[in-house]
Structure 1
């Protein structure tokens, strides 16, 4: 890299970061904005709760598949190129989705949108690691907070927009963000350097098997509302084992299962993040429908109530970060998960006659817990990961988030299949209480004996940097 190019990057690195930040917020924003729009979409297309579940779950399936895949593609074919291609796909889908006349077309546009948004985070992280040398970890942390914040604010933004122009307008809100990100990316992200590496090897069969097993697991979870579909369960388990043994033998696998097997600490962090995400997204999905269908609130007021979930998640994130810098991961993570358990238990007290301020408080508690767990689990993950494995670990971390989202959407479809009411909300709460207890147990196991090892790994990484 020439001196002139280096000086240019140093001068404009804030604009480069801004380009990436505007891009990566599109995925979590579009993941959560749709939640407030579900009742209106359901009524317009005469859908069932099962149909709505697939509108949500299909987005997560596509993201779970394409996040690790596009991360590899950006390494081979250029990160700026992949980043701009993602913005183009989002533009196409955001223009066409509001024109949908039926559910299949809307599903197709959401799938294209999911592919586009999945390109932005791995490509953006690669750009940061390639061109931002000073305070790189702080920049990555800042981008992570931006993504988390946009997910949390999604329902509020959606509620305000739907009140004015219906569900269609939530897609149009993407365009100002896309335009800003694209302009900054074109001018301030350096051109991709020509690579002489070996040709990219597609693990096509691995991708197909993974897609089938995720889809079949969701189908199985949906059938639980009527009866256990034994064949779906057997098929899901068979595909899971097939995927493991197939990927185990691949030289360049779609998902490196050998890496996960050798690094159990990392695998446990991923599993706990799945559970933490499941709780948070279950609230993003179920509460807007409950507030509008049972308490008869309008979308605007629903969005304002849901703001509690986001604001307190944002508040707790920097507080937890400073806390962990002083005392390590263990105590903040345990306190965070305990707060989460309390919040989920308090959900049992919510019913059709609950005052709005109490619902606001309960969601605030859950949001506060989520902020601690989100940053805490990421910090814990990187304490176990060497610098050379950061990209792989980050991609799988996001895949874990979408698996948690898939489980949350499946639980939503299962619990509210017969309607949105107090009884079904209580059943959803019981599931989340069980998940919270499992989450607490898992974090206790990880932090009890392995934080010391993780801290040693972090010190080693810092020594390598020095």
Structure 2
């Protein structure tokens, strides 16, 4: 079953777009809001930093598993149905998560929430592409900005809410968003129509292998603090090779490894995006815990300081878009990564006696760099991709972001396993400096590669 492609079925395009916008912000919002709540959750359930790592990483593992799967399900069963089902799952999890009496229950509710929010993006984008013809690229760009903005303001919103009612309140903020999205979706998204779309072949074994290898890699990274776990390392490598050889033989694989092998330029872009995501999300995880545990700041003040990281990322995005339109992606990417290296190095100057305005400035520099790299790498990606490959490339780009998030959460668990303090923050900074240098080297290398597509596609992407 699929959506009938008939623009005349839409009663009001603006309300349809609003329905999708409110839905897709739930994933990035819930991804970033919990970062400020981690110290309270850790204390209430008597958790270690490794336990907290699983609370974060499990969300991304579920998202990475279900995003491509639900995209196919929405094509087959109907995008409106899947969109509304996603909102229902988020509602259930948002109601039950604050009632959690232990860590396993909270993990379960977060997993349900991850499945629900994962349904909203692919289904919502499918609806837009089916019913919005005029200025479709601008609409997709607007939705992307909405998602980015919600992630950016998540820590600030969370800090303000936790100050008033504890960590439980961050789940209740979902309900006004869910209700608005659901009402608009029911009345303004056309009903799914039966179509002739072929039945997809579900790669269930590939999904299981992928989830197992990601989980085992996280376990291996977490145990590094107590020594090299040879068994976990061998198991992780074995599952990785098994996944590759299994997927390359699949007609409709969960992750198209053949596409990655045949397009090394694209694969390199994904790797750079993973590194850029590690830096940004490591900041989202580490700094709130540090500010509350070491500097003893309130959740409210912590959220306001974290606003620097997010707002400057938002500010740099449209500026970079205009810059890329004028001069291409090479110079903006190079400048962006240099700014990022400077920002990460300046993290070494932060300690328990640092003035808050200095922490604000350092985070602003890192946030500004992240905005440049985000739009720059997307532009670079589409310069290597043909129109027919856009869907596959976009899905893998999103998957690479989740891999970066998972690695950042693992690094957080390792570096702060013995407590949140100046020393461990410095060790985390050392890791991020290494990542920044690798990112700089990769950007210098990839921007010298020959572009397959013309500049028209670059300009089109930049206009998103």
TM-score tier by shorter-chain length is over 0.9
Q: How big is each residue's C-alpha offset from its partner over 1:234-271, in whole Å with a ceiling of 9 and x where there is no partner? A: 10000000000000001111111111111112111111
CA distance in 2, matches of 1:187, 1:240: 45
Which one is further off, 124-133 or 106-115?
124-133
Task: Quote the residue 1:6 is aligned against.
Answer: 7
The answer to whether the 8 A contact 2:325-2:459 is kept is no
Task: Quote the residue 2:149 is aligned against.
Answer: 149
Aligned length: 459
Q: Does 1:108 align with 2:108?
A: yes
Q: How big is each residue's C-alpha offset from its partner over 1:9-55, in whole Å with a ceiling of 9 and x where there is no partner? A: 3x621211111111111001100100110110111111111111111
Q: Does 1:31 align with 2:31?
A: yes
| 1:398 Cα deviation after fit | 1.1
SS at match of 1:156: helix
CA distance in 2, matches of 1:59, 1:330: 34
SS at match of 1:225: helix
The answer to whether the 8 A contact 1:380-1:454 is kept is no
| 1:387 Cα deviation after fit | 2.5
Q: Does 1:229 align with 2:239?
A: no
| 1:448 Cα deviation after fit | 1.2
Q: How big is each residue's C-alpha offset from its partner over 1:89-138, in whole Å with a ceiling of 9 and x where there is no partner? A: 00000000000001100000000000000111111111111111122221
Which one is further off, 250-259 or 453-462?
453-462
TM-score by length of 1: 0.96
Q: Does 1:422 align with 2:422?
A: yes
Task: Quote the residue 1:96 is aligned against.
Answer: 96
Task: Quote the residue 1:19 is aligned against.
Answer: 19
SS at match of 2:417: coil
Task: Quote the residue 1:327 is aligned against.
Answer: 327
SS at match of 1:224: helix
Task: Quote the residue 1:213 is aligned against.
Answer: 213
Q: Does 1:455 align with 2:454?
A: yes
| 1:79 Cα deviation after fit | 1.3
CA distance in 1, matches of 2:303, 2:90: 24
Task: Quote the residue 1:86 is aligned against.
Answer: 86
TM-score by length of 2: 0.96
RMSD, matched Cα: 1.8
The answer to whether the 8 A contact 1:93-1:113 is kept is yes
The answer to whether the 8 A contact 1:387-1:461 is kept is no
CA distance in 2, matches of 1:393, 1:125: 15
SS at match of 1:423: helix
Task: Quote the residue 2:377 is aligned against.
Answer: 377
Q: How does 1:358-397 map to 2 (within 5 A)?
A: 358-397=358-397
Task: Quote the residue 2:197 is aligned against.
Answer: 197
Q: How big is each residue's C-alpha offset from its partner over 1:356-387, in whole Å with a ceiling of 9 and x where there is no partner? A: 00000000000000111111111222222223
Pair 408,461 (structure 1): closer, same or farther in 2 beyond 3 Å: closer
| 1:459 Cα deviation after fit | 7.6
The answer to whether the 8 A contact 2:7-2:133 is kept is no
Q: How does 1:333-372 map to 2 (within 5 A)?
A: 333-372=333-372
Which one is further off, 114-123 or 453-462?
453-462
The answer to whether the 8 A contact 2:379-2:458 is kept is no
The answer to whether the 8 A contact 2:70-2:122 is kept is yes
The answer to whether the 8 A contact 2:79-2:123 is kept is yes
The answer to whether the 8 A contact 2:9-2:190 is kept is no
| 1:193 Cα deviation after fit | 2.4
The answer to whether the 8 A contact 1:339-1:365 is kept is yes
SS at match of 1:134: coil
The answer to whether the 8 A contact 2:280-2:366 is kept is yes
| 1:206 Cα deviation after fit | 0.5
Q: Does 1:45 align with 2:23?
A: no
Runs of at least 5 residues in structure 2 that lack an aligned partner in the other structure: none
| 1:199 Cα deviation after fit | 2.1
Task: Quote the residue 2:274 is aligned against.
Answer: 274
